[in-house]
Structure 1
Amino acid sequence: MQTWLVGGAVRDKLLGIPAKDRDWVVVGATPEEMLAAGFTRADADFPVFIHPQTGEEYALARVECKTGCGYKGFEIHAGPDVTLEQDLKRRDFTINAMAMNEDGEVVDPFHGRDDLQNGRIRHVSDAFSEDPLRLLRAARFTARFHRHGFHIAHETHRLMQEMAQSGELRSLTPARIWSEMSRALSEPNPEVFFRVLHSSGALKDVFPELANCLGADARSHQALPELLETLALVAKQTSDPVKRWAALLFLLHQCDTS
């Protein structure tokens, strides 16, 4: 049984940013062995366990297989036969697909550290397109790391455009869309979130009112449309997502009445 720190905690550690949470993956263990070690189940149907001392979540290494449409169409296999690299391969971006052991050794099969150094948000594999929510996550991470010079890799942006054209975004529930959007409004550059969604063609499905207001021309322009420029100015004045959301709605109203 091997335990690895994975995902955003490793990414942020390498960037020198304090990590908000820590995610752990356990390789080579069965559910029975986890329970025998004092862990408790976090979910009856999912291979995630709660550490008896820290209360942190530890997930068994797993692989996922697409079986249907939308974000629910997946089968999961978790077991001692699943390798660390297989678990990392199912993740969204290379910068989130690294693992670190207790000695500080980093396992980086998809060159996430190189992408960190070059400010690239790049998908791990074409399986990225199997979950339409990942398109919104790409936009949100760009909004988070924009001030550090991050951008979406060209090949990832092309894949996002294909995802938007496929219509799978329409399988997302309003609750999932709102969850990502509300988190994006808390990021340092929320205007970038909407800019990325618009340039990929996704905004018309997740926020059609804003897409109509921005217009088709804004998708190809390098400069921010005036509405998003104003949102960027508001974001510099307040970090309160409620105030940012109120400002965005006001700007939309101004657009509708102009």
Structure 2
Amino acid sequence: MGAAILLWVVALLSMQVFSSAQGAYVGIVNGRVAKPDSRYMVSVQKKNKHICGGFLVSESFVMTAAHCITWGEDLTVMVGVNDTRIPVKHDYVHPEYDFRTLHNDIALLKLTKAAEKSSSVEWISLPEKDGDIKAKSVCSVAGWGKKKTNGPATYVFLQADVVIMKREKCQKLWRPTEISKERLCASGKAGFCQGDAGGPLVCDSVAVGVGSFNEKNNCDKPRKPNVYTKISGYLPWIKRVLKEVKY
């Protein structure tokens, strides 16, 4: 991504704690410096400070986690290695989002102007139809943030490989938290932590999930897999927003 990517992040907000999981503001543990092909990634910012990750799904829309959005707050996104800042015109939080359980933890951000495609800016493909990712598939996550629980911030954009877990196994590990069919689970020696949420889970160059929550206070060696909102479960809503919303 180049050295300029390091300027995207100027601060990290404190984590939010839920009853059995930590959701907002998660980063990458045991990651590596991200590849240049991650040019769909953006930094979602409030008052010019990084609060969450996100990713371009078209020239006009960014996808992120619903829990990253605070009603009435003005947001901007930073795209590309040239730190292009684009204000958010409107946020579309899924109408059935539940902040207590983080069900339907997905949102779309409408930009005030279109992002210009370049060698450092591109949007990522979404699934064409609803369906689960095969267990044991190797996918990737990317973001900024802490590399261990409550550790110091690292402002390097990191990427890591993770492995998709069967929903039944994930449900047993997360009980009583419900792992519905609209969620995906991934585990491995890497994953997210405090510092950045809303980034994509990417399998075969397609964004299949949005980072939602992980095990509370245990980024380094979690006993429970990271949980993502499954994008394909929301395709009708996504298509409706992308189609109906015009400048």
Relative to the length of structure 2, the TM-score reads 0.26
Q: Which has the higher contact order (CA 8 A, sep 6+)?
A: 2
**Structure with higher strand content:** 2
**Structure with higher helix content:** 1
Relative to the length of structure 1, the TM-score reads 0.25
